[in-house]
Amino acid sequence: MMGPPRMMQCMIAVIGMEARMATGPRNLMTRPHRGEAQMAKWIRFEQGGKSGFGTLEGETIAVHEGDMFAGAKPSGEKLKLSEVQVRTPCDPSKMICLWNNFHQLAAKNDFTRPKEPLWFLKAPNAYWPAGKPIERPATYAGKIIYEGELGVVIGKKCFNISEAEAGDYIFGYTCVNDVTAVDLLRKDKSFEQWARAKSFDTFGVFGPVIATGVDPMKLSVKTVLNGKERQNYPVADMFFPPHKLVAAISKDVTLMPGDIIACGTSLGAGTMGDAHNLVDIVIDGVGSLSNAFDQVLPSPYLLGSPPRQKKICIVGAGAIGGLLAAKFALAGEDVTVIDQGAHLAAIQKNGLKLEWHDGKVQTARMKAVNKPADAGKQDIVVLAVKAHFLDQVVRDIDSLLGPDTIVLTVQNGLPWWYFQRLGGQYDNHKLESLDPSGVLTRHIDPKRIIGCVVYPAAAATAPGVIHHVEGDRFPLGELDGKETERVRELHDLFIKAGLKSLVLPDIRSEIWLKAWGNLSFNPISALTHATLVDICQFAETRQLAANMMKEAQDIAQKLGVTFRVSIDKRIAGAEAVGAHKTSMLQDVEAGRSLETEALIGSILEMAKLTNTPAPAIESVYALVKLLNKVMLLEGGGVKVEKSKAA
């Protein structure tokens, strides 16, 4: 299967009606030997509330009586295909699905050849006939993919049969579209959800007929999406062809009449991404399976609809604050920014220009002032200044706060409120490195605070101009972990603004995940003037970052924090951002005060609190702290520039 690696692959084997054990006698009168079956296309239908089956010849059904898999006989009745409703060609008691069954797909994705069929079950509620539209699950908004496959139909109950015997049980072949909610497969890092991703209602599409008397090894499977061929692969490319496959699976489970074995797809499976999709699985000699899929997405809003307009004040319209101010204003919110100097003047005169990474440029108009008193009471206050400036801005914050005003913090590193409303051993412990005077704790009631983790990268490139580099995720969480109506509404404001968000039950673990990179990449970049990709691709600095992250991980784990990704994966994520200058490097070049305590000092304070050694972090902290002191004393920054030719 194409798309994300290790996508599941399925082939169908429908198993017949009469019981036969591997060692039992062969009943040739009940079922002809393989290769002796007459060519026919079996179909099931419904008409006038009654179900029936028969053979399809052109557009006419020759109705049969009895059991399709055992001695069915023509009744003499003829029906037009247009006069009936087509059903699935059988009712499986189980659908067995395989993964990694084709040489070409395995070679492309560097999969190891399986030693035996790799399979799992797909739920019966998923079975769906030709002609009916595939439906999006009400709870799922991610990608949905198609997989064109072949179905093998076998005639009798069997267990522990040999490959040589398997052909005696093959009834015929059908077309399959194995539909998958692909984003669910590895949503939980600890458990791959194959059955869930494959078993939504309408996701097990097969039919419309079962063709008998054909050689499967001469067949090719084609998938056509909206008129364009997406898949075209030979059945002969299987690791486990039909006879071998059925024999192998029969050694694991008893195959009952009508069961389906979903056994594999090859190159070309992909997303049904258009507003309207028509998918055709075409196997010459077998049939054509056609279904529509329309994108009817569930509401992205946790409260069901876009929230009403909010008064939002952004304190500090720099890289991230400016990005949020522009996005919220463009979404129709009543936005005020508080800033200073040339940046403030440019916003007042021309608005705030937002340059998105894809080249889209928008200008947002908003109120811009230089002090809280001029902003008035707000529904939401976003504190977007650097952590070491917070003690200055909160002294006048009361003029922004009404009875229900939310305070959203978007600083890098650990927040001053980390231990507030935490519970347990360290509940309400004050971080001296982040709130030495206690002014933050005194002026902001922790019940107002909602935590936020900022994943986008951006830069203020000129007065009144914000350039977005990458990312759009802003996970949120209440300090006590509850999913309140106000945090859901805040989530919906981010969605309304075209950003991504998620309400987390443990915002602190997510803060640590982001801080993990900040505490290493930011100071290393400030000291070396290297971009993220440079740090990650230089062996010594990559190892230094890993050492610092390991020390931080040891500290966090003593505080009950769990990390959902490995150190290597976190570094790889930073590397993928590319030649981006960290916020601390940008501050060094501009001669601004550095976030030394929020990014590093607070980690060391927690190291002492938990009696955890952190020599690498201590060393880097000392160097950055001295760099910050020198810059402040000299009144300037440091920037590496190319030397001019003599």
Decide if 514 is catalytic.
Answer: yes
CA–chain centroid gap for 86, Å, is 35
- Cα separation of 493 and 246, whole Å? 53
- Cα separation of 162 and 165, whole Å? 5
- Cα separation of 519 and 483, whole Å? 29
Tokens of 105: 């797909």
Q: Where are the alpha helices (DSSP H) in 593-614?
A: 596, 602-609
* DSSP 8-class letter at 472: -
Reference 551, options 509, 608, 508; nearest CA is 608
Query: Residue 21 pairs with which residues in a beta bridge?
Result: 159
Reference 35, options 216, 218, 213, 246; nearest CA is 213
Residues near 490 by beta carbon (within 8 Å), at least 6 away in sequence = 380, 406, 408, 450, 476, 501
Burial of 260 (0-12, 13-18, 19+ CB in 10 A): buried
* DSSP 8-class letter at 396: G
Contact (Cβ atoms closer than 8 angstroms) between residue 482 and residue 421: no
- Largest pairwise CA distance in the chain: 101
Q: What angle do CA 558, 559, 563 make, to 5 degrees?
A: 85
Backbone angles phi, psi at 483, to 5 degrees: -95, 90
The amino acid occupying position 447 is: K
Tokens of 379: 């529904």
- Cα separation of 231 and 598, whole Å? 53
Q: Where are the alpha helices (DSSP H) in 112-252?
A: 163-166, 194-198, 242-250
Contact (Cβ atoms closer than 8 angstroms) between residue 542 and residue 611: no
- Cα separation of 148 and 283, whole Å? 9
What's the start-to-end Cα distance of the chain, in Å? 59
Catalytic residue of the set 514, 550, 558, 625 = 514
What are the helix and strand counts (H, E) for the chain? Answer: 17, 33
CA atoms within 13 A on the CB side of 265: 31
| Stated length of the chain | 646
- By three-state DSSP, how is residue 344 classified? helix
Reference 272, options 208, 195, 181, 149; nearest CA is 181
Q: Where are the alpha helices (DSSP H) in 336-427?
A: 341-350, 390-393
Q: Please tell me the chain's helix, strand, coil percentages from 3-state DSSP, rounded to the nearest 5.
A: 30, 30, 40
Rounded alpha-carbon distances, angstroms, from residue 636 to 295, 389, 466, 530, 632: 55, 18, 23, 19, 7
- Cα separation of 255 and 160, whole Å? 10
Q: Which helix (H) or strand (E) holds 289?
A: strand 287-294
10 φ/ψ sector (left φ>0, alpha ψ -120 to 50, else beta): beta
The residues assigned a catalytic role are: 514
